[in-house]
């Protein structure tokens, strides 16, 4: 039971309490506890197991919440949450996932309209019943109707980062089986898709039954869908399906290749095999005329038998990988160790939870050589965005830090400057000109027309002091669709004015997506991969951005912050 799971449990308690119109102070206590636990740099379980420490020493964790943390760690469950879930129709949880609805409004449509599921909510919106409720309206109704599709997708697919946490837990859980010889995860998870529909686990074992017996005791197992001699499927508590297959060692590579996919990649592969008088399936590569086994023990053997390189899993989407292979030009994809700087993060000056000094120390510990502190500008008032005077004060503080810490590590004076709804930037040029690094972003007016939003971004690109456009399409996976924007025009302008585009590594964003990153690469536009960290732990999401970049075929030379700051500052006009 890690911090993320404890935080998620507290968040769900808060949602359910709010849905039931419980004491708002109690709701806020659980929300705060979720944030505190989620941002904590050390494991709650370590603190609980230390007799000389107490969770109540942590601001936001009182005696009752400390006991609930201990309960979650010792049992894997929270009785209070189980009781709340038992007293709430399961379909109601789906209502609270609809963007713009939330627990309070979900409670209103449930109690006043009897709506308890997404199909019922859709019907009520289409019948214009929702707009009649107090605090709603036609616009709210339309927004809810648009959000139902997002909530439905969220029920079916997990963020890659969420699937990764489950995958690593399952890998560790099954590794204790003595007869286990090999284990790998396949499917869209292995290819690094931003959302994942299910998990496929492949294992080699001398005792298939022992592996499946262990699989059947996984703590989060909700039900066993089916079990055979070599395949078993389970459903987890969140509805996520996991399939386990036990395969022979001589077929492991073929099965891994087959179940990793993608479907389109495999279709091309089978076509190439057929042209060579071979056939390929999950059991191996065989000669068509004699059924003689040719390869299958490793993926490298499978691809080699077809005269192909072993494609990185992230590239197996039937986009450009076979063309690269034919030309002998398969790219060496970017790795996490290639990164030298992180150019998007927030501190306690706005909505972050750590100071400049703490973020710098954490970044150094992760092997980086420079960071940019990019707190919000004043338009983001809910995050206490920086006024011109406060921005200049922060930059003076950064100058003092750099002067006092004469080391190889450097903090850049940065800002995440809002692109205003009416156009133009949130801070004047005479302030922006004093920054080392300026990211321009759209936070407000996201429902404007594609023409309006595009023109706003183009205006920012033309500003001489803007370095990059942050999270350029504004999407939040499983929460909010991208706003309408003409990306071709944005990329053309970025190439013309020498501006960078961000791949925001936050697992809810991963914005730009892989297709847009690949398009930027073709235009010669450098990508900057940033964490958008709001805490020390937030710096660790960089690897999710790297995964996305690999799907786009990006190499280290395609990513700006693999360079030293001395190299990069010339690129952004700060020489």
Residue 404 and residue 426: Cα distance in Å, rounded?
A: 31
In contact, 495 and 523? CB cutoff 8 Å: yes
Angle, helices 63-75 vs 24-39, to 10°: value is 60
In this structure, is the dihedral angle defined by the CA atoms of residues 479, 481, 483 and 485, taken in order, positive or negative? positive
Nearest 10 degrees: CA dihedral of 478, 480, 482, 484? 150
Calculate the alpha carbon distances from 220 to 76, 227, 236, 502 in Å: 9, 17, 6, 36
Name the one residue in this structure whose structure tokens are 């390869």.
295
Residue 58 and residue 71: Cα distance in Å, rounded?
A: 17
In contact, 203 and 182? CB cutoff 8 Å: yes
H/E element holding 489? helix 487-497
Residue 307 and residue 312: Cα distance in Å, rounded?
A: 16
pLDDT of residue 1: 64
Q: What residue spans in the chain does CATH classification 1.10.150.110 cover?
A: 3-156
Which residues, at least 6 apart from 525, have a Cβ–Cβ distance to it below 8 Å? 491, 494, 495, 499, 500, 501
Q: What angle do CA 503, 509, 511 make, to 5 degrees?
A: 30
Strands, E assignment, 419-518: 437-441, 468-469, 500-504
Phi, psi of 418 (to 5 degrees): -70, 140
Nearest 10 degrees: CA dihedral of 489, 495, 497, 498? 150
Which residue, 297, 334, 296, 339, is CA-closest to 315? 334
CATH superfamily, with its number, for domain 251-326: DNA polymerase, thumb domain (3.30.210.10)
Q: What angle do CA 242, 73, 533 make, to 5 degrees?
A: 75
Q: Residue 326 CB: number of other CB atoms within 10 A?
A: 11
Name the one residue in this structure whose structure tokens are 């076979």.
322
Residue 364 and residue 361: Cα distance in Å, rounded?
A: 5
Q: What is the pTM of this model?
A: 0.81
pLDDT of residue 314: 98
pLDDT of residue 153: 63
The dotted CATH code for 336-571 is 3.20.20.140
Q: What residue spans in the chain does CATH classification 3.30.210.10 cover?
A: 251-326
* 480 bridge partner residues: 476
Start-to-end CA span in the chain (Å): 48
Phi, psi of 99 (to 5 degrees): -55, 130
CATH 1.10.150.110 for domain 3-156: yes
Topology of the domain covering 158-246: Beta Polymerase; domain 2 (3.30.460)
Residue 549 and residue 543: Cα distance in Å, rounded?
A: 10
For the chain, 575 residues long, give each residue's pLDDT as a single digit of tens. 678 788 888 988 998 888 888 888 888 889 888 888 877 767 888 888 888 889 888 888 889 999 999 999 888 888 998 888 888 877 777 888 787 777 888 888 888 888 888 888 889 988 999 888 888 888 888 888 878 877 766 567 899 999 999 999 999 999 999 999 999 999 999 999 999 989 999 999 999 999 999 999 999 998 899 999 999 999 888 778 999 999 999 999 999 999 999 999 999 999 999 999 999 999 999 999 999 999 999 999 999 999 999 999 999 999 999 999 999 999 999 999 999 999 999 999 999 999 999 999 999 999 999 999 999 999 999 899 999 999 999 999 999 999 998 878 999 999 999 999 999 999 999 999 999 999 999 999 999 999 999 999 999 999 999 999 999 999 999 888 899 999 999 999 999 999 999 999 999 999 999 999 999 999 999 999 999 999 999 999 999 999 999 999 999 999 999 999 999 998 887 76
């Amino acid at each position: 039971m890690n911090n993320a799971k404890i935080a998620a449990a507290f968040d769900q308690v808060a949602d359910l309490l709010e849905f039931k119109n419980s004491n708002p102070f109690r709701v806020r206590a659980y929300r705060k506890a979720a944030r505190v636990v989620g941002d904590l740099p050390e494991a709650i379980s370590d603190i609980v197991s230390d007799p000389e420490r107490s969770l109540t020493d942590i601001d936001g964790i009182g005696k009752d919440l400390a006991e609930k943390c201990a309960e979650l760690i010792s049992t894997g469950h929270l009785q209070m949450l189980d009781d709340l879930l038992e007293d709430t129709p399961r379909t109601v949880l789906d209502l609270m996932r609809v963007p713009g609805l939330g627990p309070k409004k979900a409670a209103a449509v449930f109690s006043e309209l009897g709506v308890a599921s997404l199909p019922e909510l859709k019907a009520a919106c289409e019948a214009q019943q929702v707009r009649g409720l107090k605090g709603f309206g036609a616009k709210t109704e339309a927004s809810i109707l648009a959000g139902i599709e997002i909530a439905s997708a969220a029920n079916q697919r997990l963020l890659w980062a969420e699937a990764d946490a489950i995958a690593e837990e399952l890998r560790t859980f099954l590794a204790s089986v003595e007869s286990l010889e090999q284990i790998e995860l396949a499917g869209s998870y292995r290819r690094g898709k931003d959302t994942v529909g299910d998990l496929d686990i492949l294992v080699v074992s001398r005792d298939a039954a022992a592996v499946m017996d262990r699989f059947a005791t996984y703590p989060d197992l909700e039900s066993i869908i089916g079990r055979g001699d070599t395949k078993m499927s389970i459903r987890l508590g969140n509805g996520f399906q996991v399939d386990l297959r036990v395969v022979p060692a001589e077929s492991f590579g073929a099965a891994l290749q087959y179940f990793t996919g993608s479907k389109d990649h495999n279709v091309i592969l089978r076509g190439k095999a057929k042209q060579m008088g071979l056939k390929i399936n999950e059991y191996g590569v065989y000669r068509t005329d004699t059924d003689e086994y040719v390869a299958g023990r490793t993926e490298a053997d499978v691809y080699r038998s077809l005269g192909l390189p072993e494609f990185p899993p992230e590239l197996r989407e039937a986009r450009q990988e076979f063309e690269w292979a034919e030309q002998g030009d398969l790219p060496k994809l970017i790795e996490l160790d290639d990164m030298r700087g992180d150019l998007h993060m927030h501190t306690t000056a706005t909505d972050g939870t750590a100071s400049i000094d703490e973020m710098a120390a954490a970044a150094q510990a992760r092997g980086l050589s420079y960071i940019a502190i990019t707190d919000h500008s004043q338009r983001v008032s809910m995050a206490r965005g920086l006024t011109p005077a406060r921005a200049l004060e922060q930059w003076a503080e950064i100058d003092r830090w750099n002067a006092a810490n004469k080391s190889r590590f450097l903090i850049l004076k940065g800002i995440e400057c809002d692109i205003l709804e009416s156009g133009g930037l949130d801070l004047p040029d005479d302030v922006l000109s004093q920054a080392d690094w300026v990211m321009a972003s759209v936070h407000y007016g996201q429902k404007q027309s594609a023409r309006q939003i595009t023109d706003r971004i183009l205006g920012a690109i033309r500003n001489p002091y803007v370095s990059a456009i942050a999270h350029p399409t504004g999407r939040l996976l499983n929460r909010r669709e991208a706003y309408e924007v003409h990306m071709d025009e944005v990329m053309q302008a970025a190439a013309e004015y020498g501006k960078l585009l961000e791949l925001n590594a936050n697992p809810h964003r991963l914005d730009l997506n892989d297709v847009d990153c690949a398009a930027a690469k073709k235009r010669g536009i450098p990508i900057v991969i940033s964490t958008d960290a709001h805490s020390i732990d937030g710096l660790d999401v960089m690897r999710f951005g790297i995964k996305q970049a690999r799907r786009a075929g990006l190499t280290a030379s395609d990513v700006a912050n693999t360079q030293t700051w001395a190299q990069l500052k010339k690129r952004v006009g700060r020489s």
